[in-house]
């Protein structure tokens, strides 16, 4: 009887040892598995786990090679995960730049304006104001379409000239204002021509008077004056497109280029849709 009890106790003891060993082994496997997952070979670390200094490098590397979508993701992670980090302000500015050069002009303008509101005294503000103007200017389309882009651009670039007349961006802002105004002149004149061709002479005269009042020194002013004079004398022109419309409205670009002299520059032109990059500001300081 005692031998049977002893044998039973020995079995219970061995079972307990086995269960403890099994639990320890499973726990070790779990720990080892976790370590292996953490240090997996050939796998990139989750971007959300990167510190802000690594994210800003990652974002700038993507930005510098024109990979603006990935750059935006890195900058956004900084702003979402590390909004009070030393890299947050730079991420704000470069996120706006990345949207701009990715041709997402409305989104870029929102981000530039937000930067201006948060950091009104930052040294990058002249650049930011200029880029707000470029977002507006880049919305410039054909002369027979919406004119809100060049109108907004003139207002935005005027802010640059008024607030920072000595900034490196003032000269370019003046040039963009001139281009935007020329676009609006072309638009007004083309609408006036349309009204004449459809026998809406009163509307045509209103357009021409507005053009001459707003842009008296434009390249189209002489043609506008001549056309207005004929309308006011009740002698509307017998239309010949080449006489009353500027060359760029009636001649294909390739033909204009072939006919132009080497030193000739066009007097009237639609602004380029994709402006060249301007020098970017130094890293903003808090």
Three-state secondary structure call for residue 179? helix
Helical residues (DSSP H) of 102-240, grouped into ranges = 105-118, 125-137, 148-163, 170-197, 201-214, 221-232
Supply the pTM of this predicted model.
Answer: 0.68
DSSP conformation class of 47: G
User: Does residue 164 surpass a pLDDT of 70?
Assistant: yes
pLDDT of residue 147: 84
Place of tokens 């040892």: 17
Q: What is the pLDDT of residue 241?
A: 52
The 10s digit of each residue's pLDDT in 3-33 is 444 344 444 444 433 433 343 333 444 433 3
pLDDT in tens, 227-238: 999 999 998 887
């Amino acid at each position: 009887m005692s031998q049977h009890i002893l044998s039973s106790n020995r079995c219970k003891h061995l079972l307990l040892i086995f269960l403890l060993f099994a639990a320890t082994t499973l726990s070790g496997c779990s720990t080892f598995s976790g370590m292996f997952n953490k240090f997996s070979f050939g796998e990139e670390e989750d971007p959300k786990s990167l510190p802000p200094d690594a994210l800003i490098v990652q974002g700038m590397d993507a930005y510098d090679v024109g990979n603006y979508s990935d750059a935006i993701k890195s900058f956004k992670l900084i702003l979402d995960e590390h909004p009070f980090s030393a890299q947050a302000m730079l991420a704000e500015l470069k996120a706006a730049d990345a949207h701009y050069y990715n041709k997402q002009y409305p989104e870029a303008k929102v981000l530039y304006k937000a930067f201006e509101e948060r950091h009104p005294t930052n040294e990058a503000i002249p650049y930011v104001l200029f880029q707000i103007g470029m977002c507006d200017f880049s919305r410039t389309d054909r002369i027979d379409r919406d004119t809100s882009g060049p109108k907004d651009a003139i207002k935005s670039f005027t802010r640059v000239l008024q607030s920072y007349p000595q900034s490196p961006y003032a000269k370019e802002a003046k040039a963009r204002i001139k281009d935007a105004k020329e676009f609006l002149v072309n638009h007004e004149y083309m609408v006036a021509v349309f009204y004449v061709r459809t026998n809406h002479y009163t509307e045509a005269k209103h357009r021409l008077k507005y053009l001459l009042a707003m842009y008296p020194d434009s390249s189209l002013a002489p043609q506008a004056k001549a056309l207005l004079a004929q309308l006011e004398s009740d002698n509307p022109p017998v239309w010949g497109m080449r006489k009353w419309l500027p060359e760029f409205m009636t001649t294909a670009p390739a033909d204009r280029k072939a006919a132009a002299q080497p030193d000739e520059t066009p007097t009237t032109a639609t602004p380029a849709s994709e402006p060249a990059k301007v020098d970017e500001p130094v890293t903003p300081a808090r």
